[in-house]
Structure 1
């Protein structure tokens, strides 16, 4: 069994599509903004951005604007952080060296969802 997709829930699908494609540089695999989702090709796992409309349940509303637990692996986190920051990607802080030897930095999408960049130790 392999992980096939991860989902991030948003309130503004067009803004999310532009952010993930144009700011983060992910490959848009399917633009389904009219259907309420977009799919990005990120390697082995697809990233699905899914619309949560104002009329959906409080439980569904709570899925927007939180720490997602998703991480994008990068080879040079400090350089990637600098490039994405220059492109207007907001971060919660500077990259931090971790006790296990890697690096983490948390970025925020237009709906307040937090995702991380991770650089694993060599």
Structure 2
């Protein structure tokens, strides 16, 4: 049994040049719906056709295609991170928080693939 409690949601985070253009593309071609643009964070989210799966668009000047980061929702990021760190899972820096919105922490699997934990702070 894993030491952390996932909340049955996952966000697939993609790096894109222009979140607004990308959101329109995903809406037009795949029928996804825009949930939010968070301009101060350079982030947009879209609902997909799959329950519990969200597409996240992170704006970068020079995105790296093919670099998708699965973002796993957790109820308590501090507890989840501590449990993974106790198992020697490597994290990339500190947990980042956008007050009233989300806390995130990036970590790596044994092959160096980036994964992320996220706690929704709007609930």
Return the TM-score normalized by structure 1: 0.44
Return the TM-score normalized by structure 2: 0.44
